[in-house]
Structure 1
Amino acid sequence: MSDRQPVNLTEDEIAAVRSWVLLEDPHVLVLNKPSGLSSQGGRIKAHTLDDLLWAFMRSNGKRPELVHRLDRDTSGVILAAKTKPAAGFLGKALQAKRFRKTYLALLSAAPEPAAGTVETPLLRQEVGRESYMRAVTADTPGAQAALSRYRTLAKSEDGALVELDPATGRMHQLRVHMASIGRPMAGDARYGGALTFAGKAAPRLMLHAAKLVFPHPEGGYRTVEAPVPEDFEALKVAAGLG
């Protein structure tokens, strides 16, 4: 799959990435990515998930390739292809919007209405070495169409648990869309989210890729779900959200 040189991984790194496997067959590899790990190259000089895929290198020197990305602080389901034909098939399926991604997020208050759609266009901006997305009007030069669906699953005086479905795949889309309706995600300091939730620290973005439904190279669809991380679950319980 890859002509790049293998990355030297420690035994602990190999054990860790192998422990994240949710589904593996001859064609695909699905992992539960932890928060704080970049999907691919960034400014931080540390191994990315892309690097860690060398733990699955085959005898021919090839290894899986990521089909899509998650933000560094987003946890959850991420898909890799194990063969070149699978990569081609899944890449085309992704472009054709045949993937269904479901996320969970913690918000300081429930959206109003409790369920709905956000269709605000987004504009990518570079500020120093950082990339941001900004909600803009449709006539803004460079604006990209974006559509997100949301549904409140539980709410209390301390916050809300929402389910999110991005119909488009813009960078930071869900984060910016929820912030645009006055409901930034807990821990998302970049887009106005508080670093506390239900009286407890929320030191990182509380966004989790909970489920992925995707067409399989052998036919039909596969559904893979990832349990929420312990810190997400603890804040959810602290807010009385089940």
Structure 2
Amino acid sequence: MSREVKILFVGAGEDDVRLDRWFKRRWPHVSHIQLQKLLRSGQIRVDGARADAATRLTAGAQVRVPPLPEQQEKREGEKPKLTPRDVAYAKSLVLYEDEEVIALNKPSGLAVQGGTKTTKHVDRLLSAWGEGLERPRLVHRLDRDTSGVLLLGKTPNAAARLAGAFARRRAKKTYWAIVAGDPRPPEGVIDLHLVKKGIGDRELVRPADPKEFGAEPAETEYVTVSRAGHRATWMALRPHTGRTHQLRAHMQAIGHPILGDPKYGNEESNELGRGLALQLHARRIELDHPGGGRLVIEAPLSKEMKEGFERFGFDEHEADAEPFGRKGGKGGRR
């Protein structure tokens, strides 16, 4: 049994996750009975207080992890460890890495976290860097079919600082999207509450009255980059809040759905985007580096987005690095 007591921080990508599931993702060899015993005896604590298995964690929370049983030999039915091929794949996604931060270029179709029917996801691939304190931590999320920049904290302190920047809206995120039609005005802010409906793969969000139960404020800034006549428009989108499916639901709400979106499309966008994957790409993130200075990361266009650009004649070099104001660099730490 490891004799080390650890204090780990909950990343933004783990917000609202049950405590027992949070443990299972890190130490799958710890049984339910063993976990319950540690909880009942108060050895596991959240922000210094006792907790139970159903406790919902919040981003930035501190979890006291007591000495845990050592992992035994692999039992029948357990999920296999990463193969050398898995490790190589995970490392191939790296856009930038230093002692505290990793930036991945998440491909379209790869989920960030697992579920009942999802066994291949970013969270699993993080074991390529090690387990326990060596394991990078998610600090924000991207939808499965959204490509682009995904940041990770390599240490508990770095993860907490990055998660805090996202929570306090100090991270400038720029997404590129191809939408149906020609939005007017060509730039502006969508300030529209959203509410979740459904669960799992059937979860959708829709516009809501601020007084509706479960409605959350959501704000998206947008700028037109280029047009393909009146058929389609290349947009730069900046979410000022981080709601589920926010960009997709907001563009649908103003009548210009993102192409290739089976959940939030309409007849026009479905026809126009036929054969295309979701045309939404997390192009750029700029925020304070946990160790000082400024972190600016850009992700190259995914093959799915390149197909959309080719169909409508867009050239990625037309866009400013910072279309919402101050011009910026191409990526890295400064």
**Above 0.5 in TM-score?**
yes
Q: What amino acid sits opposite 2:162 in the alignment?
A: L
- Residue 190 of structure 1: aligned partner: 263
1:92 to 164, 168, 174: 164
The answer to whether structure 1 residue 43 and structure 2 residue 95 are counterparts is no
Contact kept? 1:197, 1:235, Cα under 8 Å? no
- Residue 105 of structure 1: aligned partner: 177
After superposition, the C-alpha distances for 1:191-239 in whole angstroms (9 at most, x for unaligned) are 12534547x611x211100001121111122000001112211221221
Contact kept? 2:133, 2:155, Cα under 8 Å? no
Q: What amino acid sits opposite 1:25 in the alignment?
A: D
Distance 1:4 1:127 in 2: 26
| TM score, norm. by length of structure 1 | 0.91
Q: What amino acid sits opposite 2:275 in the alignment?
A: A
After superposition, the C-alpha distances for 1:120-156 in whole angstroms (9 at most, x for unaligned) are 1001111576211111122222211110001110101
> Counterpart of 1:190 in 2: which secondary structure?
coil
Distance 1:139 1:116 in 2: 24
After the TM superposition, which of the residue ranges 60-69 and 92-101 deviates more from structure 2? 60-69
Which is richer in strand? 1
Contact kept? 1:38, 1:72, Cα under 8 Å? yes
Q: What amino acid sits opposite 1:131 in the alignment?
A: E
Distance 2:175 2:83 in 1: 31
Superposition map of 1:19-168 within 5 A: 19-57=92-130, 62-126=134-198, 130-157=202-229, 158-168=231-241
Contact kept? 2:278, 2:304, Cα under 8 Å? no
- Residue 289 of structure 2: aligned partner: 216
Considering only CA atoms, is the larger Rg found in Structure 1 or Structure 2?
2
Distance 1:104 1:44 in 2: 29
Which is richer in helix? 2
After the TM superposition, which of the residue ranges 90-99 and 30-39 deviates more from structure 2? 90-99
Q: Which has the higher contact order (CA 8 A, sep 6+)?
A: 1
> Counterpart of 1:191 in 2: which secondary structure?
coil
> Counterpart of 1:104 in 2: which secondary structure?
strand
After the TM superposition, which of the residue ranges 155-164 and 64-73 deviates more from structure 2? 155-164
- Residue 206 of structure 1: aligned partner: 279
Distance 2:309 2:271 in 1: 12
How many residue pairs get aligned? The number is: 239
- Residue 4 of structure 1: aligned partner: 27
Distance 2:174 2:88 in 1: 27
Distance 2:209 2:110 in 1: 33
Contact kept? 1:22, 1:226, Cα under 8 Å? yes
> Counterpart of 1:123 in 2: which secondary structure?
strand
Query: What's the offset of the Cα at 1:61?
Result: 6.4
Distance 2:200 2:146 in 1: 22
Distance 1:81 1:105 in 2: 27
1:235 to 287, 304, 308: 308
**Percent of residue pairs bearing the same amino acid type:** 38
After superposition, the C-alpha distances for 1:29-77 in whole angstroms (9 at most, x for unaligned) are 110000111101223232210000111117x762101111100010000
- Residue 172 of structure 1: aligned partner: 245
| TM score, norm. by length of structure 2 | 0.67
Distance 1:110 1:25 in 2: 41
- Residue 254 of structure 2: aligned partner: 181
In structure 1, runs of 5+ residues without a counterpart are: none
Distance 1:102 1:63 in 2: 27
Runs of 4+ in 1 over 4 A off after TM superposition: none
CA 1:196 to 1:12, structure 2 compared with 1: closer, same or farther past 3 Å? farther
> Counterpart of 1:236 in 2: which secondary structure?
helix
